[in-house]
């Protein structure tokens, strides 16, 4: 029996529940892509699946709309895989444990994947309904958006006829998104110098921070767990000698890390732990209005002999974390309250030979993104790190006098009796890739109310899904004919 039985809009949520049963984290696209193919076959719709596992499904115009301009409906198939620190959930194998809480759908202990599974489900419900009036539809389900818009960048754009596109990857029903940031990934790699040590092993874990989307929530004052860990270690090294065994925090560059763990060896664990707890309580009081659930968990594992990072490497790790740029770099002087340029240290990871620092960079201006990369390259040289940059995508620039924007505002006002807020966003959207590849593309991005994406607190409003579905069907039925 479905967990979403009798919850409207049933058809949309039926497809969303199907999606939640299929492992579909970034890089694990085979099963979800096959699901889209099976959907197309079951509805006798023409489709294309490419080597990147993107799926394009075509639906002919309904009666009376044969001469209408075609339209692209687009969403991405992958989700950000984050879970609570005490969860044993396996994103490679397990189905999401979703449930209804009032007006919201949530997942137990993990991200929900409403970003962007709910967009996929809305499009599928439209494709499945033969009673709707609509122009020719080119439905595009892209892969690996969350790790650099990889699927979209590999699309064969000659497969599209449309010059209009509605992206379903936004998170506020009252906002019409018309521009987004470009971005890139940047990694620093610090070689580890090792030494043999004897002492007490201590594990410090910072947990309970809010985390969230590194574009949408970068201006919300949310604390980065990796940087907070560095702050704690910086204080402790002024009073104690210790050597780091390993340090890890965050799993996705584009998610603000909410947990970070360091394992280390020190001589006097009792005093060390006492100082750590006392200092952390002061910090917690400082940030309590922003991070009420922040916690420090401490374990003393007793005396060990081990290979650890040398004092030089230990200090270098702390110094890099303390001094690397992070968060908002510049605000826009042209668009009120828009973060123009930022970066997020989303992943800190130790392997046998190196420590990796993985940043997600964003800017609504290509030249500012260039300069941010140049700053990090300079920083890498100062701190003795190797670097790599990849996954670059350009900004989606605002299009003046857009007929699609005007139509959406008109139908929104007729439907809800108010005007949507028109915004540029600091997050990245695949609209940027499509706009760069399809000349003169008229593009907008919409979506239902979704909260705390990229974190285990993610939730989506059921009533908002219904409103966005009704609004989209009204758009398709309204004025798209020549």
Q: Which residues are catalytic?
A: 78, 145
Distance, in Å, from the CA atom of 133 to the CA atom of 59, rounded to the nearest integer, reads 12
Q: Are 147 and 393 in contact (CB under 8 A)?
A: no
The three-class DSSP label of residue 240 is: coil
Lookup result for tokens 């799926």: 55
- Beta-carbon neighbour count of residue 22 at 10 Å? 18
Q: Which two tokens stand for residue 312?
A: 């030089």
**286: CB partners within 8 A, 6+ apart:** none
Q: Which two tokens stand for residue 248?
A: 């890890």
User: Which residues on neighbouring strands pair with residue 99, listed in sequence order?
Assistant: 106
- Beta-carbon neighbour count of residue 76 at 10 Å? 28
Q: Which two tokens stand for residue 457?
A: 């607190």
Q: Which DSSP string do the residues of 224-242 spell out, in sequence order?
A: PHHHHHHHHHHHHHTT--E
**164: CB partners within 8 A, 6+ apart:** 69, 70, 71, 72, 404, 441, 442, 443, 480
User: Which residues on neighbouring strands pair with residue 190, listed in sequence order?
Assistant: 355
CA distances from 265 to 148, 232, 262 (A): 37, 15, 10
Q: Are 125 and 469 in contact (CB under 8 A)?
A: yes
């Amino acid at each position: 029996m479905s967990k979403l039985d009798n919850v409207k809009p049933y058809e949309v949520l039926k497809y969303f529940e199907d999606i939640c049963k299929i492992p579909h984290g970034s890089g694990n696209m085979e099963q979800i892509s096959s699901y889209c193919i099976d959907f197309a076959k079951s509805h006798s719709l023409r489709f294309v699946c490419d080597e990147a596992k993107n799926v394009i499904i075509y639906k002919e115009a309904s009666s009376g709309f044969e001469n209408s301009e075609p339209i692209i409906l687009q969403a991405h198939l992958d989700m950000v895989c984050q879970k609570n620190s005490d969860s044993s959930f396996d994103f490679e194998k397990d189905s999401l444990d979703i449930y209804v809480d009032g007006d919201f759908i949530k997942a137990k202990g993990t991200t929900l994947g409403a970003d962007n599974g709910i967009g996929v489900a809305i499009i599928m419900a439209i494709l499945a309904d033969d009673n709707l009036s609509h122009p020719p539809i080119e439905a595009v389900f892209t892969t690996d958006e969350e790790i650099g818009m990889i699927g979209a960048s590999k699309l064969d754009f000659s497969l599209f006829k449309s010059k209009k596109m509605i992206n379903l990857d936004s998170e506020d029903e009252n906002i019409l998104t018309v521009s987004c940031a470009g971005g890139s990934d940047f990694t620093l790699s610090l070689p580890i110098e090792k030494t043999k040590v004897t002492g007490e092993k201590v594990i410090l874990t910072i947990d309970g921070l809010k985390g969230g989307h590194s574009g949408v929530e970068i201006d919300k004052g949310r604390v980065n767990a990796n940087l907070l860990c560095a702050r704690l270690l910086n204080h402790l090294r002024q009073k104690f000698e210790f050597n780091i065994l390993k340090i890890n925090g965050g799993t996705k560059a584009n998610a603000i890390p909410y947990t970070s763990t360091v394992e280390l060896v020190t001589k006097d664990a009792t005093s060390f732990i006492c100082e750590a707890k006392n200092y952390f309580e002061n910090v917690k009081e400082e940030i309590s209005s922003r991070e009420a659930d922040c916690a420090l968990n401490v374990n003393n594992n007793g005396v060990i002999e081990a290979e650890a990072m040398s004092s030089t490497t230990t200090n270098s790790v702390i110094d890099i974390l303390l001094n690397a740029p992070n968060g908002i770099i510049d605000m826009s002087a042209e668009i009120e309250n828009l973060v123009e340029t930022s970066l997020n240290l989303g992943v800190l990871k130790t392997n046998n030979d190196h420590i990796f620092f993985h940043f997600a960079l964003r800017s609504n201006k290509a030249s500012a993104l260039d300069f941010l990369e140049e700053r990090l390259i300079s920083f890498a040289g100062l701190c003795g790190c190797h670097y790599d940059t990849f996954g670059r995508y350009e900004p989606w620039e605002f299009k003046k006098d857009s007929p699609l924007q005007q139509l959406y505002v008109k139908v929104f006002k007729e439907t809800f009796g108010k005007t949507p807020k028109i915004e540029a966003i600091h997050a990245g959207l695949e609209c940027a890739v499509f706009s760069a590849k399809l000349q003169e593309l008229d593009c907008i991005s919409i979506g239902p109310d979704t909260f705390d994406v990229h974190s285990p607190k993610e939730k989506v409003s059921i009533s908002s899904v219904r409103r966005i579905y009704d609004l989209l069907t009204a758009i398709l039925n309204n004025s798209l004919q020549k």
